[in-house]
Amino acid sequence: MDKIIIDGPCPLKGKVKVSGAKNSTLPIMAACLLSPSKFVLRNIPSVVDAHTMIKLLSALGAKTEWLSKDAISIDSTNVNKWKAPYQIVSKMRASICVLGPLMARFKKAEVSYPGGCVIGTRPIDLHLKGLTKLGAKIELKDGYVVAKAKKLNGASIYLAGVYGSTVLGTANILMASTLAKGETIIEGAACEPEVVDLGTFLIKMGAKIKGLGSPTITVTGVKKLHGAEHTIISDRIEAGTYLIGGIISRGEVEVEDINPKFLTVFIDKLIECGVEVKQTANSIKVKAKKNLKPIEITTLPYPGFPTDLQAQMTAFLTTIEGISFIHEKIYPDRFMHIAELLRMGARIMKQDSATIIQGGKLKGAPVMASDLRASAALVLAGLAAEGRTEVNRVYHIDRGYPKIDEKLASLGAKIRRVKA
């Protein structure tokens, strides 16, 4: 098991390119199950979750082949299974994305209840509600979601829940409804760029979809879909993470190959802090000024502040004098990183789904990663901390950040990966 060692503080400086969006890649790969066809996907990030999805598709009968370091072909012509096994699904929550495509194609599916990051309860009730509305009969049996339908019919479906819209739920219902008879109207749909990316791919496959990027998506079912080629959008969360790396280390970093419109509220909050931000059509550059100011953040569904950047921003705010507040409105239990930041000298108090952060200085310490984004937050904290930080269990970070140690080293970080 690897660990990452950082000797800080080490101001970052330079340019870094982000990879394809993990949260686009996984449902788009799953969408290839919808049609017995061949597909080519480009800008695939080399992360563990992408390789896990490849294993899942292969287990269902698809043939996959890497065409280059970031391009893959998927041939789903001979897919003849509709049971997604626990051994694979338990490793990655996004495995649930095969449920919709399998139902659309075979009118039956058995998918193990999903696993993934331990960041609190993330139920799939809205996924099941949507499929039921389309005509599926669903039961939970031996840890599996077992779904069957004689046929799928279009319906009006409301998908927003207590904590807002469901991204993967929207993806599942969007995919299932492409082959349902008639019109499906998804109200309370997720507006994330990754959902738009999936919808764009489905349209290339022959789907009829309107309203992508809005809370109301209309899908007119078609009889069949076909193969397509697609380039995945860049990862806005990876981009945000490296931008925070630049400012938490009090350096100057430019992230390339990212659309700033994907991070509007995040950028607003950086500017509110006093960070100097420069934008082009496909890049964002940040520079930390001396007198940074504490702020208040509330995570919300897109286009609000991303919950996937909450842990990283928490680490940053621990380095700013004064009191900052973060309100977590998406996953109220997503605070696994706090205990480890406290080991580094952070002063953070948790109250229900909010944190109160008293800024100061961080000191290096051995810490333990608990989930994907918490891992990134601890690495960022190590860039600002005095002394050596050892981040253990970094297999979590490999699920979503391709070669993070190499990218940070290229920016000047004193960082290395070693066998624990």
Q: Give the bridge partners for 42, in sequence order.
A: 71, 231
Among the three residues 212, 231, 250, which one is the final residue of a domain in this structure? 231
Domain finish residue from 171, 196, 231: 231
pLDDT for res 120: 44
Question: Are 85 and 220 contained in the same domain?
Answer: yes
Q: Are residues 175 and 308 in the same domain?
A: no
In this structure, are 202 and 345 located in the same domain?
Answer: no
Residues 181, 289: one domain? no
DSSP at 94: G
**Considering the chain, what is the average pLDDT of its residues?**
95
Residues 116 and 143 in one domain: yes
Residue where a domain stops, chosen among 231, 255, 287: 231
Q: Give the count of domains, the chain.
A: 2
pLDDT tens readout for residues 128-179: 999 999 999 999 888 899 999 999 999 999 998 887 889 999 999 999 999 9
For residues 105 and 127, give the distance between their C-alpha atoms in angstroms, rounded to a whole number. 17
Residues 284 and 214 reside in one and the same domain: no
Q: For the domain that residue 217 is a member of, what is the CATH number?
A: 3.65.10.10
Residue 377: name the closest of 62, 33, 176, 119 by CA.
119
Say if residue 220 is in the same domain as residue 250.
Answer: no
Cβ-proximal residues to 85 (8 Å cutoff; 6+ apart), any chain: 59, 112
d(CA 226, CA 37): 6
Higher pLDDT pick, 361 / 125: 361
Cite the active site residues: 117
**Are residues 323 and 374 both part of a single domain?**
yes
Angle of CA points 351, 315, 243, to nearest 5°: 135
Per-residue pLDDT tens for 8-35? 999 999 999 999 999 999 999 999 999 9
Residue 119, pLDDT > 50, answer no
Q: In the predicted model, is pLDDT for residue 331 greater than 70?
A: yes
